[in-house]
Amino acid sequence: MLPHTTIMTYLSFCFIWSMGANLHDNSRAKFQVMLREAINNVELPNGGKVDLPSDDIYDYTIDPKYNTFQNWDELKPEFKYNKAESFFNVLVPTADTVKYGCMLEKFTTGGYNVLVTGETGVGKSVVTKDFLNNAPENVNNATVNFSGKTTTHNLVNAFESKLEQRRRDVLGAKPGKRMIFFVDDVNMPQLDAGKAQPPCELLR
């Protein structure tokens, strides 16, 4: 049986990346104060205590070997420049690319849909494409780019063209494979008369 401190450490991490993941940067400092107060008030058997990092808690994951918090920066791989690689495909590893790549891997492996949000130009698409380029061999992927002119018909065609027909009315990935669709610029489709975005409603 796992020690209570280990369980609370993992629960704290899960709370950070569930309740705290969708917060705007301006609210994250308040969230961290609230979380530290809540964790400090938890009385564990045998006087155990979870040691949350003293700085930004979003900069930490859990080291599975010691079940303690570990800075994402420590997991950053060494950057090796490949002259043959297109400049636009070069991704210099940072703590953030490791962090969000790991989150994408965990959620997609668990079979969950993932919505990556953030300000324009922060690298959401680059990190997602890097994750897909390094996906396991049993995972196929396809990119669907939304624009202001994207319609539900376009979306259906994009999805169906990348899937195989298994039965008369059933489509799916190739046998033994999983399919991940990356929908880029999901906010782009124009609003209809009812102020909805039909392609986004179809995704829902």
What tens digit of pLDDT does each residue of 155-197 get? 999 999 999 988 888 999 988 899 999 999 999 999 999 999 9
For residue 32, report the phi and psi dihedrals to the nearest 5 degrees: -65, -35
Same domain for 120 and 26? no
- CATH value at residue 94: 3.40.50.300
For residue 152, report the phi and psi dihedrals to the nearest 5 degrees: -60, -35
Residue at which a domain ends, from 46, 74, 102: 74
Domain assignment present for residue 81? The answer is no
For residue 172, report the phi and psi dihedrals to the nearest 5 degrees: -165, 180
Same domain for 58 and 146? no
Q: Name the band, by pLDDT with cuts 50, 70 and 90, for residue 1.
A: low
The total of structural domains in the chain comes to 2
Closest alpha carbon to 177 in 204, 139, 146, 142:
139
- Average confidence score pLDDT of the chain: 90
Domain assignment present for residue 175? The answer is yes
Same domain for 142 and 194? yes
**Identity of residue 86:** S
Closest alpha carbon to 20 in 41, 2, 38:
38
Same domain for 94 and 190? yes
Residue 72, Ramachandran bin (φ over 0: left; ψ between -120 and 50: alpha; else beta): alpha
Same domain for 97 and 193? yes
pTM: 0.81
Cα separation of 200 and 185, whole Å? 11
Domain assignment present for residue 53? The answer is yes
Domain assignment present for residue 80? The answer is no
Q: Is the distance from CB of 107 to CB of 114 less than 8 angstroms?
A: yes
What is the domain extent for residue 23? Answer: 4-74
Domain assignment present for residue 161? The answer is yes
Same domain for 91 and 192? yes
Domain assignment present for residue 8? The answer is yes
Closest alpha carbon to 98 in 66, 65, 67, 59:
59
Q: What is the pLDDT of residues 85-130, one digit of tens each?
A: 888 778 888 998 999 999 999 888 888 999 988 888 888 898 999 8
